[in-house]
Chain A
Amino acid sequence: MGTIFVIAEHRQGELRDITFEMLFKANTLCKDLSHKLTAVVLGGDEALADEIKKWADTILLFEHERLKNFDGDLYKEVISGLIEEYEPFITLMGHTSWGMDFAPALAIKTGYPLATDCVDIQVEDGRPSVIRQIYSGKIFTKVSFRESKSYLITVRPGSFTPEEIGEQEGEIIKKELPSDLPEPSKEFIGFEEAGAGELDITQADLLVSIGRGVGEAENIEVVRELADLMGGVLSCSRPIVDKNWLPKYHQVGTSGKSVKPKVYLAFGISGAFQHVAGISGAGTVIAVNKDPKAPIFRVADYGVVDDLFNVVDALKEKLK
């Protein structure tokens, strides 16, 4: 019987959602394949490991001062050791900032193949393959691996929705770090809240949101007027903030804010996963985009295929 590894991700004492999403998917894979699920917790403590007991057969827990904060070098070192020892069939990691740091390096160190940012995983004839999205979600692909003893996969956050599973009581095994650890190449200084500001878009009932489709900085005022007329709040996708057209606290998405308005109006936003991850709490999403194939239409409730300025002008006309 083989095993599937899930590398837990946690920050400041809390497990991240991606951890449970991976545990859920790994559980279904383990059932199909009669494999055991092994969760790996680097840093954290027993209380943290307890939280995932019901998802895993075994939890390998490493408690160590140097693992209090994420350290990609140590993750690479320790996990490659574990992969040699346990020979997992698949190792799942999050496609997060931290996963993007250590997973590719781990693939080189172990020599095992890696596919990143996967939204689904299948196993056929003993070989895994994954589904991914390319061209910002406009096209899907099926990717297979060169034959190997062990396979590495990073999972896109939000791809799996954890559902309750049968009760089980995983065994927590405390592990010691190897004694010959590499010198740290980075020093952790602290966490910093990015882009706090006077406006809190998470509290708004109506968000009027703009993306790169507005074209020019000047055009923002055209949409802002609409937001004012509607009594809504202006928000945006990342490129608008990257260009300094609006301050960071307007940004919706994985690296901005998760919002929960009753209505989210998206003007000229393509619908990259990092953006739509921030609007899963919205009541109703109405998207306006020139491109009928824009991925935003796959997550919106209502769609309008048109130039956003036509719709903005018509809305203003009605409201005046």
Chain B
Amino acid sequence: MNVVVCVKRVPMTQEVDLEIDASKKDVSKDMLAYVLNEWDNYAVEEAIQIVEKFGGAVTAVTVGSEDDEEVLRRCLAMGAEKAIRVDPGDLSLDGFVISKILAEVIKGLEYDLVLTGVQADDDNYGIVGSMLAEHLGIARAAVVNHVDIEGDEANIKVELEGGVDEVLKIRFPALLSIQTGINEPRYVSIMGIRKAAKKELQVLPVTDLGLSEDDLSARTVVEEVFLPPETEGAEIIEGDAATVAEEILRIMKEKGVSV
């Protein structure tokens, strides 16, 4: 059972006062710390658990810059056999272009399953997985929170809105976009990452893939980014913790909750 998993490195933006950069097309990223996209962390763990059980190998793929190799090394430390980075140069990337590049690389690999995350934590598109499946011409399922493999098919659960799962059987080769909580991603130590440095990390310039200009031209363009409009929003309760607590209890009482 060979599994390809697509991963992305994303900036951590909680508890950070984001600023719009000079181009007005993105936020300034100089001060941001980066991590493996949360959904992809679960996808990598799922891939590794599958090969641990059924044999085969995991290949991790990213489309990104040299800095993004950091997340590939993490995947190798988690147990991936091989990692591939496609360098997009200064192409402007959208879900279409990324999926096209990933498809071209994955076509050349042996695989039964391709895993992606449900969404990337930066752009929140949720688009690459399903586009990739269509380029590859394979079965797909989105928002998968359970995978149970039997031979060349799997029983899976697709998470729907409202706390309901849809139980399906899917035949391989297939692409699944993985939802958080599907497993418990393993801990990765600095030592583990150092040891994995010996594993193969292949770098491919996008120009080596033979894609046409049209294949590499974005279908959507970010015109501008801006801070959320100042709507009315919350009334901020000021003061020290004791004052705040008193005010919260007063509001609760006013709203009919007696404590």
Provide the bound-state CA to CA distance between A244 and B184, in Å.
9
- Among residues of B, the one whose C-beta sits closest to the C-beta of A196 is B163
Q: Restricting to B14-51, which residues have a CB under 8 Å from any CB of A?
A: 14-18, 20, 27
Which one of B54-62, B70-78, B104-112, B216-224 is at the interface?
B216-224
Query: Does chain A have a CB within 8 A of B135?
Result: yes
Q: Number of contacts between A and B (CB, 8 Å)?
A: 291
Whether A135 pairs with B251 at a CB distance below 8 angstroms is no
Whether A140 pairs with B160 at a CB distance below 8 angstroms is no
Whether B220 pairs with A146 at a CB distance below 8 angstroms is yes
Instruction: Give the chain A neighbours of B212 by CB distance below 8 A.
Output: none
Q: Mark A230-253 against chain B: 1 for CB-CB distance below 8 A, else 0.
A: 111000001101111000100100
- Among residues of A, the one whose C-beta sits closest to the C-beta of B161 is A254
Query: Does chain A have a CB within 8 A of B142?
Result: yes
Query: Does chain A have a CB within 8 A of B248?
Result: yes
Whether B160 pairs with A297 at a CB distance below 8 angstroms is no
Which bucket holds chain A's interface residue count? Answer: 35 or more
Which bucket holds chain B's interface residue count? Answer: 35 or more
Provide the bound-state CA to CA distance between A257 and B163, in Å.
7
Whether A290 pairs with B15 at a CB distance below 8 angstroms is yes
Instruction: Give the chain B neighbours of A47 by CB distance below 8 A.
Output: none
Which one of B81-89, B117-125, B196-204 is at the interface?
B117-125
Whether A97 pairs with B143 at a CB distance below 8 angstroms is yes
Query: Does chain A have a CB within 8 A of B234?
Result: yes
Query: Does chain B have a CB within 8 A of A133?
Result: yes
Query: Does chain B have a CB within 8 A of A256?
Result: yes
7 contacts between A and B (CB under 8 A): A100-B143, A101-B140, A191-B165, A239-B180, A255-B163, A262-B257, A319-B249
Task: Please give me the 10 A-B residue pairs with the lowest Cβ-Cβ distance, nearest first.
Answer: A242-B181, A303-B234, A185-B139, A104-B130, A113-B219, A314-B241, A314-B245, A108-B134, A300-B234, A101-B142
Q: A104-B131, A256-B163 are in contact. List 18 more A-B contacts (CB 8 A).
A: A73-B139, A101-B158, A108-B99, A117-B126, A134-B124, A139-B227, A143-B220, A185-B138, A187-B169, A191-B164, A191-B166, A192-B164, A243-B181, A262-B255, A263-B257, A314-B242, A314-B245, A317-B242
| Chain B residues within CB distance 8 Å of chain A | 11, 13-18, 20, 27, 95-96, 99, 118, 121-131, 133-135, 138-143, 155, 157-171, 174, 177, 180-181, 184, 217-229, 231, 233-237, 241-242, 244-246, 248-249, 251-252, 255-259
